[in-house]
Amino acid sequence: MGFRNAYCSVPGKLMIGGEYSVLLPGGVSLAMAIEDRLTVSVRPGNVDMVHSSALGLDGVSPERTDALCYVKESLNALRAVYQLPPLEIHIEGTMGQLPDGNKLGLGSSSAVCVGLVGACLRWIGETVPDTTNWFELAHKAHSTAQGKLGSGYDVITQIQGGVVVYRRLNDGVDTPLWETPSQWQTSRAQMPKDLWWSVLFSGRGASTRRLVQQTFNHPATQSHLERMRRLTTRLVDVWQHGNVDEILHSIDETQTAFEVWGAEVGGAVFPAAVQTLCEVVRAQGAVPRISGAGGGDCILVFAPKKAILESALSCAAEFGGKPVSLSLAGVGARAWCVD
């Protein structure tokens, strides 16, 4: 503990498949880390204080505002295990924030948890924070702050980087949604060769927490979850085999099932503006995929050729979609110290 300052840089994330169904035991997700980073730094202080030029905060206690619930719960999770002094916490980066103030939904809340836990673990002496410990502490904090809802896919994707397959293994125990699954497994996947992709911002933000709370107990949801779990398992399988035509078909199949379920539970999941953008993308021969819980935020666009992708993005822009230049983050969260 001889270091004065510890830092952790965390990438963003986008989900390709597994929304909602990954919340259940046996669920699986496929997600990618995005090279748009947030950095958290810590150093000993007199009391816990948060500074962030990006958030407009200068010396604010995490106890004083709900906006810092992710900081508060991360500190709670850490202090349940470790002795930490009061901390000066700096959060920098505008992860997924557009010039007009809209956010893309790249996981800034989970990134705060990953970054704060990673920086603190590095500060107390873990040269390379243990992935399991890092994940379980950050997931506990993020899930608690979300209202005891969260699978952990976003946390593990940001820690590991690249394209990540995350499985909540079904060991016969009905693990509550907010608890870290008793058995979980991750593996890295490759971005398939000759699969072109980009991102559209739908023009509207969305709250994952609100959408999950609104839809999870809907009568149509249980059958949807089972179908989405099967389709995502198939998507992971064809993704790892690398055949682009099969991947595009599987993505389209998964997206179509999501749209059908969205129509059943109401317009909040699949609003008309997002539906229009998906139709425009398909009309150009590309495949849309709403990333995450729906409602807005980002639409991933996949295509077998660059020209098809560019045409889809151009046409979508005429209907309010905003193409966003993002790249895959091959390196996940990284923590370091400075004397």
**CATH number for the domain harbouring residue 46:** 3.30.230.10
Q: State whether 181 and 275 are in the same domain.
A: no
Tell me which residue range forms the domain holding 301: 196-324
pTM of the model: 0.91
User: Residue 38 burial by CB count (10 A; 0-12/13-18/19+): exposed, middle or buried?
Assistant: buried
Q: State whether 40 and 180 are in the same domain.
A: yes
Q: State whether 168 and 218 are in the same domain.
A: no
Question: Domain containing 250 — which CATH number?
Answer: 3.30.70.890
Q: Residue 35 — φ and ψ, nearest 5°? A: -80, 65
Q: Which of 30, 12, 13 is nearest to 21 (CA)?
A: 30
Q: How far apart are CA 40 and CA 204, in angstroms?
A: 27
SS3 content of the chain, % helix, strand, coil (to 5): 40, 25, 35
Decide if 10 contacts 115 (C-beta within 8 A).
yes
Question: Which residue do the tokens 């959408």 mark?
Answer: 211
Q: State whether 177 and 209 are in the same domain.
A: no
pLDDT number for residue 22: 85
pLDDT number for residue 187: 94
Decide if 137 contacts 177 (C-beta within 8 A).
no
Q: State whether 116 and 241 are in the same domain.
A: no
Q: How far apart are CA 289 and CA 1, in angstroms?
A: 45
Decide if 250 contacts 231 (C-beta within 8 A).
yes
Q: State whether 124 and 243 are in the same domain.
A: no
Q: State whether 171 and 251 are in the same domain.
A: no
Cβ within 8 Å of residue 33, ≥6 positions away? 11, 12, 13, 157, 158, 160, 161, 162, 163, 164, 328, 329, 330, 332
Domain count, the chain: 2
Q: State whether 201 and 134 are in the same domain.
A: no
Q: State whether 257 and 185 are in the same domain.
A: no
Residue 266: how many other CB atoms lie within 10 Å: 13
Q: State whether 49 and 183 are in the same domain.
A: yes
Q: State whether 21 and 91 are in the same domain.
A: yes
Spell out the per-residue pLDDT of the chain, length 339, in tens: 555 899 999 999 999 999 878 877 788 999 999 999 999 999 999 999 999 987 788 899 998 877 799 999 999 999 999 999 999 999 999 787 776 667 778 999 999 999 999 999 999 987 888 899 999 999 999 989 987 777 889 999 999 999 999 998 765 555 544 455 557 889 999 999 999 999 999 876 656 666 666 666 677 777 788 888 999 999 999 999 999 999 999 999 999 988 888 777 765 667 778 889 999 999 999 999 988 665 557 899 999 999 999 999 999 999 999 999 999 999 999 999 987
Residue pLDDT, tens place only, 131-156: 999 999 999 999 899 877 778 899 99
Task: Name the DSSP class of 325.
Answer: -
Strand order in the sheet with 287-290: 287-290, 298-303, 196-201, 322-324
Q: State whether 187 and 204 are in the same domain.
A: no
pLDDT number for residue 169: 76
Using alpha carbons, list the distances in angstroms from residue 161 to 31, 56, 190. Answer: 9, 28, 11
Decide if 15 contacts 31 (C-beta within 8 A).
yes
